[in-house]
Every structure is written in structure tokens, then in C-alpha cells.
Amino acid sequence: MKTFLTTLCLLALPALPAAETAAPLAIFGETLHTLAGPAIKDGLVLVRDGRVTYAGPAAGRAVPADHRVLRAKVVTPGLIDARATAGLSGILNQPQDQDMLDRSAPLQPELRAIDAYNARDPLVAWVRSFGVTTLNTGHAPGSLVSGQTMIVRTAGHSVEEDVINPAAMIAVSLGGSAVNRAEGPPGGAAKSPGTRAKAVAMLRAELIKAQEYARKREAKDETKRPARDLRLETLARGLDGSQRFLVTAHRQQDILAALRLAREFNLRIVLDGCADAPLVLEEIKASGFPVILHPTMARASEDTENLAMDTAARLAATGIPFTFQSGYEGYVPKTRVILFEAALAAARGLGFERALAAITLDAARILGIDARTGSLADGKDADLALFEGDPFEYTTHVTTTVVAGRVFADGPR
Amino acid sequence: MPPRLLAALVAALLAAGAAAAQEKPLAFTGARIIPIAGQPVDNGILVVQGGRILAVGAAASTAIPAGAEVRDARGKVIMPGLVDSHSHIGGASGADGASPVQPDVRVLDAIDVRHASIQKAQAGGITTVNVMPGSGHLISGQTLYLKLRDGRVIDDLLIRLSDGSTAGGLKMANGTNSIRTPGGPFPGSRAKSAALVREQFVKAQEYKARRERAGNDPEKLPPRDLALEMLVEVLEGRRIVQHHTHRHDDILTVLRLQKEFGFKVVLHHVSEAAKVAAEIAASGVPASVIILDSPGGKLEARDFALENCAALERAGAEVGLHTDDSVTDSRLFFRSAALAVRAGMTRDAALRAVTIANARMLGLETRVGTLEPGKDADFILLSGDPLSVYTEVEQTWVDGVKVFDLANPADRLYARGGPGAGDSRRAVLCCFGSAWDIIAAANGGAGQ
């Protein structure tokens, strides 16, 4: 009877994501791309307690009896989507599941991604089924400062369990999407910013306010300190470099405005989008800032009308660190898949090796998480993607995704 | 005549000559040819002349006519030009917000043949396309089937049917897009949507009957009604309904109305096709499927499945694919076929789905969609396997005229993107015909 009751209880439990318990793993890859070194023929990755304990040639390496064996033609580190809104921009695209943008004010750096992320939105599982193990997700482009992003695993249980960095970047948008071109109400003023120049002026004013706030908060006399202000506090973290600014800028004048702001306030920024990057390659290179490039298949219109499928190749040739993104989508497809975006770039001049590095190790470096993921080596998180052939071929399935040692086989994708 | 203008005229005539279908036979040799009609051949020959296919087949059994210009296509793959059964290129528009039923509105009156999206479709190997108005209406207007020739005006791209009429379909939609709340004249529910459509077709049946009763007596003929005339064309099977429908119940509603009124229809998008694949197959109605990178984005696409094509193929339905450009990019139409294969469709069916299956859905299968003698000389040269991400469309030919060449920097810009790729095609080098173009060229300008 007890067994029967236990069974009943188990049946009554809500269905968990298609993950299995984190048994130790032995993953054989006919080709193993560790990204820590050259590709290995007949490679092996051993995993225990969510960490890699060995990544190298399989030859001469004993597999402990308690390890579950997985095999694949090609094994890579788990893919990293460096700029997403998955988990905030829900699958239904109805007002009640769209949490990536609040338009009540143009500057809202205090909005945190962890307070909105739905780990169980089907689109999180969807991108995971295409090998994605890590997201930098959060507030979308579309207002001057829309909020923050966070770095999260795609295990899909809860934000608390999956989060890696709860406050990764502060999302800033320059250019068309953040400029309100609408007329104001009759006799009233239109909402600001209404032009590009106004947007930058508003941002500069706010950053200066945050500088002053930060200085006053340091006052020795506690009574002289200003009251806490979540908005300025967040910007102050950006100013002291503990949180970076993720600046969406497509037009070359917007990219240059971002670099100008970075110089004025000594900011650490990551450039996002950059459809016009080929027009200002030297300036971007000189700044030293990395680029999270628009999806290769993004639609070319308005601010992105100049985008090209071979921009990634040009960034690579110039020596600019970059990665890809799924970005924000307002209609269908509701999310893009970075595996596909990198694949097309690989085929349009970037090449296999650079494209794979872009969505693994390079993405990890740009997000500042390369000590734990983005490559396969002893001690790293066990984030892996298993493929039945060339990962970038349209017809190659992802067979399994491993997130911190948990095996997800969502069916061949 | 000033010498410069004379020179420009001569240049224009030369350019016009280059753009016309060759009188001399043109033979491509050494290519892998995938004719769609029949098995691929590895060392194949394609011969075209006067805008038609003269011969196609294995090198051993295909003669090259005397005097033919021979081009070496070793290492290339040659296929029929792609047929896209659902696209919105050319900046076209259809019905407005006045009513949910506007069959009288024509895409023909609203399309820009120099629009960059048309150049990009050529770069993707698309040679025939169904340009549709949107899906925000139950009936949003007359669609237009185009050949993607390099045209100066829309007439240059039209397809003329044997009765002299212009080829096109009728766009209809059900589900969420055509429902508006508060609705005004628009439906607020699915049942109301179907009722409004049935009401229109009943009216059209009566209109048709009155016209037939009147015979040739002008006194008895009902007053002309552009909307009902169009629906009569549909009732008579002279025009195919191209029907947006996503959810499984919406798909069944289309099949129900098709049975009631007997019109020819193609199901478009069919995000939930896998749920009713058997019913679709049993109806004999073909389905043109959209491939998306993820489900959702709208309620009726929540259960979108990459497996739809495979499920329909297994059930025995006729399956096409479409770009729905700009929902997916015309330059990447092969990608949809490849992703359908990734999700279980056979390679052969996937290649048919971007060629002959779509040609049938437009009623153009005797002219396009396969490489067969007598058919239009619409073909593409690829760098490799059509379903590989690493393959590129290198040349696109329509009616025996090359309209896209990756080696040409101006064409390459449209293929790859970059500054200027969003601009309309310029008049120079493509479409002389007005004195203004020629004078502009003579002055070193760029035409319009």
C-alpha cells in the first residue's frame, strides 16, 4: 500500500522539464571541440556533480562504472546566447506574458530581470533544445534605459536555481527604437526623447546625477547622505564599472554616440546590434569594446536597413571581439536560435571555427563567465551540446543538451 | 541628335538585347541537374532557347544543338527556379480598414517592381511568386502571380493565362488576424467570421445565377459588382483561394467551406497541420507550410511544429513551402526546405515543396516548377547541395534571361546586404525604355 501511495504521489507531481537527475556522465564525441585547445578526434568528457572532471582524448581513459554513457558525432561546449529576452518575452506574445519592456518612463535602470524571468516559458526549453545552455536575458531594446539583464542557465526550473549573475548589464538603446516620434496630445508636449540628440542629452544628465549621488552617498556624515534611490544606485554601479552598459546601437551615428558616452563617463560598455558596424570598424576596434552582433537573419528595415550577412566575418577580420544574439522579436518567430544565426554567418565568410568560438568561448569572455563555462576543461560547468554531425548544417540534429550536468534530450532537434 | 545621346541609345539597345531571351541555344554542361521531374543526374546538360527549355538530361543522352553557346557548369547544381506560393515582396498592400470582405482590391495596383525585396527574392533563386495582400481581413484582395523578370513596370512581370487574363489568386484568412474587438464591420469571433464568408459566397452564387439567367440580354444582366464578379471567378474554379489558416479547428473550417461552395483552395501556414494531417490529406486540398525558428509570437502559432511538413507528407497530402517574406527571408527559401527535412520530411518532397508543388498550388505547373523540355527556362545555378547552409545561389535565370549573378557586385549587394541593399533597383542597366532613362544615363546619372 505504501508503495502504491508513493506511486500515486509521484504521478500527482507536476511534470518536470525533460531533465534527468544529475548522474555522473561519460560523453564520447567522435569530434570533441573543447575550445580550450584544438579539436580532438575521439574525445571524452567526464562529468560529476555538474562539473567537468576530464575533457580530452578518450584513449587510455577509464570510464568509472557509475557513469552514464552518452555518445555523439560532435560534442561542443553548451551554446551561449549573449543577448536574449527569452523568459521575459513569453511565447504567446500577449500583453500578460510580455515583460521585457515597460514604457511608462524612458529611464528605468532599476528594473531587474530576475523579477520577471519565467524559467518555464516554453521558449526557454525551445532554445535549450538547440544546444543553448546559457542566456544573457532581460530587458529589451526599445526605451532609452529599459532595465537590466541577467545571466541564467536554461535548465528551466526556477530563476533562483538557474541564475548565474542576477545583475549582468544595464540595457541602453540609442537610435530609432528608443526615440518617440509620436505627436503629443493636442496642446500638450510629446514624450521625450523625441530625437537622437535629446536621448543622449537625457542619458548624460542622468549619469551626472548618478555621479553626484554616488559621491554624496560616500559622505562621512550619515545624515548628509541622500536617501536611497534605486535608479541612481543602478547607474552608479554602471559608473563604477561593477555593472556594464549594454548599448543597443545600429546606425553608425548611434554607435559613435555610444563610444562618445563611454569616453565621457569612462564607462565599460558592450555594443549591441551594430548593423552599421562595417562603416565604423576602425572606431569600434580602437574602443576595445566587444560587439554582440544582430542576428545574421534579422530583418533589414529602418535602423537595421544596412545589415549584412557577412558583418560577422568583417568583425572577425578586423579583430573585434564579438558574439551573436537571438535579440528581441516582436512577432514571429518569437525567439531566434543562435545556433542558426551563427551557422549562416559561418557560411557567409566567417568559417566554422570562428562561428563556433563566437557562440561558446568568445560569448563567455564577453559576458565575463569564461572561468566557468564556454569551454570544456577540468573544473568547468558541465554545459555541453551534442550533435549528430556538423552543428551548423541545416539538417544536423542536436541530440542532447547538458546544462550543469543535467541531461536534456528534448527529442532530436 | 547629340553624339552622347546617340551613344546612350546604342548602349541602351545593346543592354536591351542582352536582357532578351537568347535566340541562339544556350547549353550548360557538366552540372549536377536536379530536374524535380525525374531523378537527378550527375553529369547533366541543360539547353535553353527563346525563353524555353529545349533539352535536359544526362550528358550521354542529351544532344547539344549545333551553334549553341556552351557554358561549363561543372561543380554546380542546376535546379528549376524556385516557386514561392506566399510572399509579400514589392511593398504591396491590399484591403483597407473599411470592411473585412474586399475581393475587389488588387495587389496589381499597389506593387513596386523595383523594390529591393524583389531583388532579394531573385538572389534567393525565386523565379515565380504569389504576391499576397495581408491577412487582416476575411477576404483581403486579389493576389498576383509574378515571374521575377527584371521589369520596368509591373506589366513586365505578369503571367498571362491562355484567355488573356492576369494570373492570380484570392487571399482569404481566418483565425485571429481577421478578428477585431471591438469589431465594427469586422468579426468578433470565429463563428461570425465563417458566417460572414458564407454570406458572401451565397450572394455570389445568386449573382452568378442571375447572370446566367440573363444570358446575352444586357437588359436582364445584374449591375456589375467587382467584389461578386471576383467571387464568381472563384466559384467557377478560374481563380484559386489562397487561405491563411493556422489552428487545427480553423483549418477544418476552411475545408468545411470548401466543401459547401466547391472552390479551389490552398491552405497557407497551417501551424497545427500535424494535428489534422489525415483530414487535410483526405480532403485533397494542398497545404503551403511556413517554417518558423520558434513557435508562438501569436496565439494561433503557439503549437507551431517543425514536424508539420513531415506529418502532411506521411498522411499523403500535397505539401508546399513559402517564405511569407518578410516573415522569412526570400534569400533563404532553401533553408525552409532544409529545416523541414531536419524535422522528418524526405529530401525529394522538400525540394518539390519549393518548386512543382507550389507551381500546382498556383495552377502554373505546365509552365514552371520542373526542368522539362517546353517549360519556361526558369532555372538556378547553385554552388552545391541545395539543402546545405554552405551553399549559395550563384545565378538565377527567368525565361532564359539571367536576372541575378552573385559575381556581379550590384547583385551581390542584394544577396549579402549592406549599405544600399534596401534601395530600389536603379533604372540604368536593366530597363531602358523611356527617353528620361536614356538621357539620365547619357548624363552619367543613375536614372530614377
**Contact at CB, B294 and A123, closer than 8 angstroms:** yes
Interface of B to A at Cβ within 8 Å reads 292-299, 301-302, 326-327, 329, 332, 335, 338-339, 341-342, 387-392, 416-422
Q: Which of B389, B412, B414, B424 to mutate to test the interface with A (most CBs of A within 10 A)?
A: B389
Minimum Cα–Cα distance from B422: chain A residue = A305
The pLDDT score that the predictor gives to residue A187 is 79
- Specify the pLDDT at position B19: 56
Predicted confidence (pLDDT) per residue in B341-391, tens digit: 999 999 999 999 999 999 999 999 999 999 999 999 999 999 999 999 999
Mean of the per-residue pLDDT values of chain B = 92
pLDDT digits 0-9 by tens, B147-195 = 999 999 999 999 999 999 999 999 999 999 999 987 789 999 999 999 9
Per 3-state DSSP, what percentage of chain B is helix, strand, and coil (rounded to 5)? 35, 20, 45
pLDDT at A19: 60
B390, B392, B394, B412: which to substitute to probe chain A, counting the most A Cβ within 10 Å?
B390
- Residue B430, pLDDT > 80, answer no
**CA-wise closest residue to B48 among B72, B31, B65:** B65
Q: Which residues in chain A are closer than 8 Å to B301, comparing Cβ atoms?
A: 332
- Residue B346, φ and ψ in degrees, nearest 5: -75, 155
pLDDT tens digit at each of 413 positions of chain A? 444 444 444 444 444 445 656 799 999 999 999 999 999 999 999 999 999 999 999 999 999 999 999 999 999 999 999 999 999 999 999 999 999 999 999 999 999 999 999 999 999 999 999 999 999 999 999 999 999 999 999 999 999 999 999 999 999 999 988 898 777 778 777 789 999 999 999 999 999 999 999 999 999 999 999 999 999 999 999 999 999 999 999 999 999 999 999 999 999 999 999 999 999 999 999 999 999 999 999 999 999 999 999 999 999 999 999 999 999 999 999 999 999 999 999 999 999 999 999 999 999 999 999 999 999 999 999 999 999 999 999 999 999 999 999 999 877 89
In this predicted structure, the answer to whether residue B36 has a pLDDT above a threshold of 50 is yes
Q: Is residue B120 very low, low, confident or very high in pLDDT (cuts 50, 70, 90)?
A: very high
To the nearest whole angstrom, how far is the Cα of B203 from the nearest Cα of chain A? Answer: 36
Residue of A nearest to B383 (CA): A347
> Is any Cβ of chain B less than 8 angstroms from the Cβ of A118?
no
Instruction: For chain B, say whether A411 makes contact (Cβ under 8 Å).
Output: no
Is residue A308 less than 8 Å (CB to CB) from chain B? yes
Tell me if residue A216 falls in helix, strand or coil: helix
Q: Which of A123, A278, A343 sits opposite B418 (nearest CB)?
A: A278
A251 touches chain B (CB under 8 A): no
pLDDT given for residue B440 in this prediction: 53
Q: What is the ipTM of this complex?
A: 0.93
Measured between CB atoms, which of A94, A307, A395 is closest to B338? Answer: A395
Q: Which residue has the cell 529545416?
A: B339
pLDDT at position B183 = 73
Per-residue confidence (pLDDT) for residue B426, from 0 to 100: 74
Q: Is A347–B389 a contact, with Cβ atoms under 8 angstroms apart? A: yes
Say which of A91, A394, A395 has its CB closest to residue B295: A91
> CA nearest B413 in A: which residue?
A308
Q: What whole-number distance in Å separates Cα of residue A139 and Cα of residue A177?
A: 14
What is the least distance, in Å, from the CA of B339 to any CA of chain A?
6
Question: Strands A79-84 and A322-323, how do they pair?
Answer: unpaired
Q: Do A93 and B297 touch (CB under 8 A)?
A: yes
pLDDT at position A233 is: 98
Distance to chain A for B401, nearest Cα, Å: 27
Contacts of A189 (CB under 8 A, 6+ apart): none
- Interchain proximity B298–A397, CB inside 8 Å: no
User: Do A393 and B388 count as a contact with CB atoms less than 8 A apart?
Assistant: yes
Q: Specify the pLDDT at position A191.
A: 86
Q: Which residue has the cell 541628335?
A: B1
- Answer with the residue of higher pLDDT: B433 or B390: B390
The per-residue b/e assignment along A217-244, b for 16 or more CB within 10 angstroms, e otherwise, is beeeeeeeeeeeeebbebbbbbbeeebb
Rg (CA), chain A: 22
Residue with cell 516554453: A122
Q: Specify the higher pLDDT residue, B19 or A221.
A: A221
Instruction: Give the distance from CA A7 to its chain's centroid.
Output: 40
Contacting A residues, span 78-117, partner chain B, CB-CB under 8 Å: 90-94
pLDDT for res B372:
98
Specify whether the CB–CB gap between B64 and B29 falls below 8 A: yes
CB-nearest partner of B422 from A305, A396, A413: A305
On chain A, the residues whose CB falls within 8 A of the CB of B417 are 300, 306-311
Chains A, B: CB contacts under 8 A, how many? 109
Kindly report the nearest CA distance between residue B388 and chain A, in angstroms. 6
Q: Where are the beta strands (DSSP E) in B270-306?
A: 287-290
**pLDDT in the model for residue A4:** 47
pLDDT of B3 above 60: no
Of B295, B341, B392, the CB nearest to A395: B341
- pLDDT beyond 70 at B447: no
The beta strand positions in A255-308, using DSSP E, are 269-273, 291-293
Nearest residue in B to A121, CA atom: B296
Nearest CA in chain A to B331: A297
Which of B294, B392, B417 lies at the smallest CB-CB distance from A334? B294
Cβ of B421 within 8 Å of Cβ of A300? The answer is yes
DSSP code, position A349: I
Residue B429: pLDDT above 50? no
Question: What is d(CA B234, CA B238) in angstroms, rounded to the nearest whole number?
Answer: 6
The stretch B330-348 carries a mean pLDDT of: 98
Provide the pLDDT for residue B14: 42
Distance from C-alpha of B228 to C-alpha of B208, rounded to nearest angstrom: 8
Exposure b/e, B136-158, CB count within 10 A at least 16 = b: bbbbbbbbbbbbbbbbbebeebb
Instruction: Provide the angle, in degrees to the nearest 10, between the axes of the packed helices A196-217 and A252-265.
Output: 20
- Which of B294, B303, B394 is the mutation pick for testing A, counting most A CBs within 10 A? B294
